């Protein structure tokens, strides 16, 4: 029986691939034909991902069948044989998909069972978000489509597999602590390498070619000066709704530099990060926010030329780099992000609109301070630990979860257990990271 159903699974994918090829979409054809190859790994998430593809495929066959029958009826052509064939293909696809969701298939695809749902969710969310973004964009978003037109589905499959793999790894709290800075640095490096090559003449590596400075403060100040251009504020706001202030611990292309500088300093001094006072984490950043937004408004009202605004913005960005090199490195904490960057402040404040939080189980906490020594965002003072919740500057980075030897630190989301809340949060964070890898460029 499993052999027969596995053959049906493969055949159903191949039929969907052939259908894509018939419509001229060779990359979607190749991606659909590759899904059964993923099943060879016997990983649980591949079973769920393939099942989702087949159930969606069955819905597609049903809609296609209805359309074709209506067309034939309209022309008075025979339709019964066509209807029977497509109904059979639809039923086979649905049966194969449902079998993959059942208990027998669980036994066949038993590897990595514990993380299969978050991994499959990351795969499907990444593929869905990228496919949606590509279908709505007025220009090719993915590099694959730019260098080999029509091949975008292959990049989508690759990024979705990466998201599934990464989710499986990062769900281990200790691995999360190691991996997060690395994948964040990888994203930032790719972003800036593409920018450098784009400026050097490989213009396909730029998104639109309309350059703006990579200074996070411009997310707020740019639209104020220009009087429009809301793409970045809307993107930032969407991530805040999805993952709260985690923009500043998983997604920002500049924050990764501050993270690296603070780790560099901590390593050299072999001492824990210094906790920055509220005067800096709140007062300092509110002042920077007022300066950035007020300055942008003043420049606009004064009719200042773009070159002047750009030089001032570059100066602000360079001052930030100075903070990373001379302060973050010395104190081992992320001084740029927690005391200088206005967008970090906006993220911490508006991020409260999203329900994700970090919590401290006081019954398990021994006040050993291991979490505070892992926190680079100055969010865990003894008072905050005593209160059972990190301070405003927490970015949900999760470093404290892996650092706590007593499992007292946890992610919170209303109605979810801590384990489920953490899995759901990391699935979303990894999905956004994978999507950004695919589409974030200037």
Where along the sequence are the contacts to ligand SF4 (CB under 6 A)?
216, 248, 252, 254-255, 258, 337, 341, 343-344, 347, 358, 374-375, 377, 379-380, 390, 394-400
Cβ 206 to ligand SF4, closest distance in Å? 21
According to DSSP, residue 270 is labeled T
- CA distances from residue 317 to 86, 170, 195, 281, 434 in whole angstroms, order as listed: 59, 31, 16, 18, 26
Question: Helix, strand, or coil here: 391?
Answer: coil
Cβ 175 to ligand SF4, closest distance in Å? 16
Cβ 153 to ligand SF4, closest distance in Å? 32
Cβ 249 to ligand SF4, closest distance in Å? 6
Cβ 434 to ligand SF4, closest distance in Å? 18
In the chain, the N- to C-terminal Cα span, in Å, equals: 52
Give the integer Cα–Cα distance in Å for 82 and 6.
26
Tokens 């099943």: give the residue. 39
Strand partners, 360: 409
- Residue nearer to ligand SF4 on the CB measure, 168 or 216: 216
Check: CB of residue 194 under 8 Å from CB of residue 286: no
Give the integer Cα–Cα distance in Å for 253 and 285.
19
- Residue nearer to ligand SF4 on the CB measure, 134 or 288: 288
Structure tokens at 314: 């570059």
Supply φ then ψ for residue 349, to 5 degrees. -75, -55
Check: CB of residue 296 under 8 Å from CB of residue 342: no
- Residue nearer to ligand SF4 on the CB measure, 265 or 398: 398
Residue nearest to ligand SF4 (CB): 255
Cβ 248 to ligand SF4, closest distance in Å? 3
Cβ 346 to ligand SF4, closest distance in Å? 8
Which of these, 339, 355, 399, lies nearest to 181 by C-alpha position? 399
Structure tokens at 352: 């409260």
Give the integer Cα–Cα distance in Å for 105 and 108.
5
Cβ 303 to ligand SF4, closest distance in Å? 29
Structure tokens at 275: 């906790």
- Residue nearer to ligand SF4 on the CB measure, 155 or 258: 258
| Residues near 81 by beta carbon (within 8 Å), at least 6 away in sequence | none
Give the integer Cα–Cα distance in Å for 209 and 202.
10
Give the integer Cα–Cα distance in Å for 149 and 378.
47
Cβ 121 to ligand SF4, closest distance in Å? 22
- Residue nearer to ligand SF4 on the CB measure, 46 or 338: 338
Cβ 302 to ligand SF4, closest distance in Å? 26
- Residue nearer to ligand SF4 on the CB measure, 343 or 429: 343
- Residue nearer to ligand SF4 on the CB measure, 252 or 266: 252
Which of these, 393, 246, 245, 271, lies nearest to 329 by C-alpha position? 271
- Residue nearer to ligand SF4 on the CB measure, 46 or 395: 395
- Residue nearer to ligand SF4 on the CB measure, 124 or 341: 341
Cβ 299 to ligand SF4, closest distance in Å? 21
- Residue nearer to ligand SF4 on the CB measure, 20 or 394: 394
Angle at which helices 418-439 and 173-199 cross, to 10° = 10
Cβ 398 to ligand SF4, closest distance in Å? 5
Give the integer Cα–Cα distance in Å for 114 and 14.
29
- Residue nearer to ligand SF4 on the CB measure, 52 or 171: 171
- Residue nearer to ligand SF4 on the CB measure, 148 or 319: 319
- CA distances from residue 434 to 49, 117, 165, 371, 378 in whole angstroms, order as listed: 17, 17, 11, 28, 28
Q: What is the CA radius of gyration of the chain?
A: 25
């Amino acid at each position: 029986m499993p052999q027969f159903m596995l053959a049906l699974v493969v055949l159903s994918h191949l039929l969907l691939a052939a259908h894509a090829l018939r419509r001229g979409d060779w990359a979607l054809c190749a991606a659909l034909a590759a899904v059964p190859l993923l099943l060879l790994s016997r990983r649980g998430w591949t079973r769920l991902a393939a099942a989702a593809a087949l159930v969606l495929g069955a819905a597609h066959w049903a809609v296609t069948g209805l359309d074709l029958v209506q067309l034939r009826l309209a022309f008075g052509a025979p339709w019964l044989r066509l209807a029977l064939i497509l109904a059979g293909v639809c039923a086979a696809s649905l049966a194969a998909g449902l079998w993959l969701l059942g208990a027998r298939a669980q036994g066949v695809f038993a590897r990595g069972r514990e993380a299969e749902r978050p991994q499959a969710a990351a795969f499907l969310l990444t593929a869905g978000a990228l496919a949606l973004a590509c279908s709505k964009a007025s220009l090719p978003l993915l590099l694959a489509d730019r260098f080999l037109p029509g091949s975008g589905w292959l990049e989508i499959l690759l990024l979705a597999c990466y998201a599934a793999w990464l989710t499986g790894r990062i769900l281990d709290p200790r691995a999360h602590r190691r991996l997060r800075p690395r994948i964040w640095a990888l994203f930032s490096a790719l972003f800036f390498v593409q920018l450098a090559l784009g400026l050097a003449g490989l213009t396909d590596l730029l998104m639109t070619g309309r350059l703006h400075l990579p200074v996070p403060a411009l997310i707020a100040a740019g639209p104020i000066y220009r009087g429009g251009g809301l793409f970045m504020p809307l993107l930032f706001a969407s991530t805040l709704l999805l993952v709260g202030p985690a923009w500043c611990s998983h997604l920002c292309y500049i924050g990764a530099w501050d993270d690296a500088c603070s780790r560099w300093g901590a390593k050299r001094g072999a001492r824990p990060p210094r906790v920055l006072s509220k005067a800096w984490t709140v007062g300092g950043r509110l002042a920077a926010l007022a300066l950035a937004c007020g300055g942008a408004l003043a420049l606009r009202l004064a009719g200042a030329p773009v070159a002047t605004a750009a030089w001032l913005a570059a100066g602000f960005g360079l001052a930030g780099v100075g903070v990373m090199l001379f302060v973050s490195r010395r104190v081992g904490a992320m001084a740029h992000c927690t005391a200088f960057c206005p967008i970090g402040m906006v993220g911490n404040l508006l991020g409260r609109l999203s329900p994700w939080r970090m919590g401290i189980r006081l019954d398990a906490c021994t006040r050993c301070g291991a979490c505070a020594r892992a926190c680079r965002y100055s969010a865990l003072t003894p008072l905050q630990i005593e209160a059972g919740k990190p301070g405003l500057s927490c970015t949900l980075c999760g470093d404290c979860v892996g650092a706590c030897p007593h499992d007292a630190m946890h992610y919170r989301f209303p109605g979810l257990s801590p384990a489920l809340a953490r899995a759901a949060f990391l699935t979303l964070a990894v999905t956004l990271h994978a999507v950004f890898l695919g589409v974030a460029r200037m």
